[in-house]
Every structure is written in C-alpha cells, then in structure tokens.
C-alpha cells in the first residue's frame, strides 16, 4: 500500500481555503491523491481531507506539521495529519456475544483493517479461546460489586497498550464519565438499534412491542450521554409481523457487525470529522 499523509481540517468557512492548502502542497511538488471537502452552509463551517503521496514531498511528517502550522493558524483550523504506514492501535472490549468481535478479528487477520490490536478486554471469560486463537492477549476484568475498580483496571490496560482507538464490540457496560472524557472521539460503540429510536437496553424487544417494519444498528462515538454520541454509520433490515424478538435479534446481528466494521474503517482512515454532535464523513 502506497504511503500517504492524510491531512484533515475544519475551520470557519471563508474564501481561499482550498487554494491555500493546495498551494502549500504544490510549492513542495507534493502530489494529491485524493481531495474531499464539504461546506456546512447553516453553520458556516468548512471541512477538508487530502491524501498526499508521502514520497512526493522533500520532508517527513514532523516537518510537514511545522511548515503547515502557520497556514492552519491563519485560517483558524482544527487539524491533524497522519501517516498511513503508522498503524493505529485498537483495543477491543467485549462481553459474551461474539458476532461483532469475531468479525473485526477476522477482518484484521485477513488484512482488511489497517490497524494493530494489542489486546482484548472483557468482563467475561467466554471469548478467551476465540481471541487467543488470533494470537492476541486477552484480559479478563470482572465487574463484580466494585465497578470503580473494574474501570480503574480497564483504564490502566488501555493506557499500557497505548490505544489510539477503543472499540466496544458489544461490551454491554456503561463507561464512566472520566473514561469518556479522556478518550473523547476515540471510543467507538455499536448499538443494536437505529438511534435515536430505542436507546438503552433490549432495543429489539422495544422494536417488537412498537411493531416497527425496520430494525437497524448504529455505530457512534461514546460520550457521557448514553447512546447520544456522534453517529458514524447506520444501516437497517426490513422485518415483518411474523418475526418474534429472537428473529429480530438474529437478523440484527448481521447488520450490527457490518455497521461496526464500516464505522471503524472510516475512523481508521481519518474520514470522520466530529463537529458539535454530528459527524462529517469525507469518503
């Protein structure tokens, strides 16, 4: 895979943003492989993502940051640049259900997800054999009566393994506010409902009682507000009145794992920009 620098930016909308960014790259004979941008006309905000061939530039990533900083400051940008050859470190968290985590592990094992998975953390032992088959360390951290101690241990493991991203692959525990705040924009959850409908526990049973004709899943960033974080990806499946809650659960599992995989890929490729409580997907 060709090495690229991913330059992702957002700032108040104004004339000349694209020209200034492009001119900066062009003055060093840089080659832009991909360019995406979007204007939020209601909030007067501009979003941009460029992929630049690393070998076309006469310097490395740190010099790139130093040289681009004055331009970003002048435009009032929030920005970052990443190297596609530096694999993000993704810590997975799970409970008992295997469909989401097994899908992610398989995609990682086959090379479909460009990341490293340094460990899996779980509050149950059920998936230990599955995880260790992939050669990944498995940490069993039971919840018990002392949730504070549980999350203290979890936080230590996340820090120890230098996680860039944390994926809640049906972890089924509510993270405390301090963890949400420390890893804002880095924790991805899969909720087995098409949010904002049927938030909280047993959404398929809620959907069954409501008699809906579509069920879905939502991949979103975790915030202190339960199931209300910025949405990355969603999808749905059609159902009928003949289906029982267990049928909806079975069908929903397929949607969940696909939505989580898509959302994680978008995040790993720096295609997601969070603005207020929404996301801009520059794919």
Domains and CATH numbers, the chain: 4-83 (3.30.70.260), 90-281 (3.40.50.170)
The fraction of the chain above a pLDDT of 70, given in percent, is 96
Count of other CB atoms within 10 angstroms of residue 209? 11
Instruction: Please check the confidence at residue 201 and state whether its pLDDT lies above 90.
Output: no
d(CA 217, CA 224): 20
The question of whether 83 is a catalytic residue gets the answer no
* Distance spanning both ends of the chain, measured CA to CA: 18
d(CA 262, CA 79): 23
More confident residue, 16 or 202: 16
Query: What is the reported pTM?
Result: 0.93
Per-residue pLDDT, 209: 79
Q: Which of 103, 227, 233, 270 is catalytic?
A: 227
Instruction: Please check the confidence at residue 145 and state whether its pLDDT lies above 90.
Output: no
Contact 81, 61 (CB under 8 A): yes
Give 62-84 pLDDT, tens digit per residue.
999 999 999 999 999 999 999 99
Per-residue pLDDT, 233: 97
Contact 115, 165 (CB under 8 A): yes
Between helix 245-268 and helix 203-210 the angle, nearest 10°, is 130
Place of tokens 């409970």: 95
Please compute the mean of the pLDDT values over residues 18-28 and round it to a whole number: 97
Per-residue pLDDT, 91: 98
């Amino acid at each position: 895979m060709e090495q690229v620098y991913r330059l992702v930016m957002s700032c108040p909308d104004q004339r000349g943003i694209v020209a200034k960014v492009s001119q900066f790259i062009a003055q060093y004979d840089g080659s832009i492989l991909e360019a995406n941008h979007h204007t939020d006309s209601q909030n007067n905000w501009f979003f941009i993502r460029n992929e630049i061939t690393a070998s076309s530039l006469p310097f490395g990533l740190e010099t790139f940051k130093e040289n681009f900083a004055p331009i970003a400051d002048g435009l009032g940008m929030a920005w970052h640049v990443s190297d596609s050859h530096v694999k993000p470190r993704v810590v997975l968290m799970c409970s008992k259900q295997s469909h989401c985590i097994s899908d992610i592990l398989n995609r990682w094992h086959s090379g479909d997800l460009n990341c490293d998975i340094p460990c899996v953390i779980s509050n149950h032992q059920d998936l230990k054999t599955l995880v260790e088959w992939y050669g990944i360390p498995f940490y069993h951290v039971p919840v018990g009566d002392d949730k504070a101690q549980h999350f203290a241990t979890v936080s230590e493991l996340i820090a120890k393994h230098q996680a860039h991203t944390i994926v809640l692959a049906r972890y089924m525990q509510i993270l405390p506010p301090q963890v949400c705040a420390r890893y804002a924009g880095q924790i991805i959850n899969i909720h087995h409902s098409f949010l904002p409908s049927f938030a909280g526990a047993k959404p398929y049973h809620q959907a069954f009682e409501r008699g809906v004709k579509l069920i879905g899943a939502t991949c979103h960033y975790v915030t202190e507000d339960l199931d209300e974080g910025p949405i990355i990806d969603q999808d749905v499946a059609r159902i009928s009145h003949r289906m029982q809650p267990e049928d909806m659960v079975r069908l929903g599992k397929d949607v969940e794992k696909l939505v989580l995989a898509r959302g994680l890929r978008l995040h790993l490729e720096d295609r997601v920009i969070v603005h207020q409580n929404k996301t801009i997907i520059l794919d």
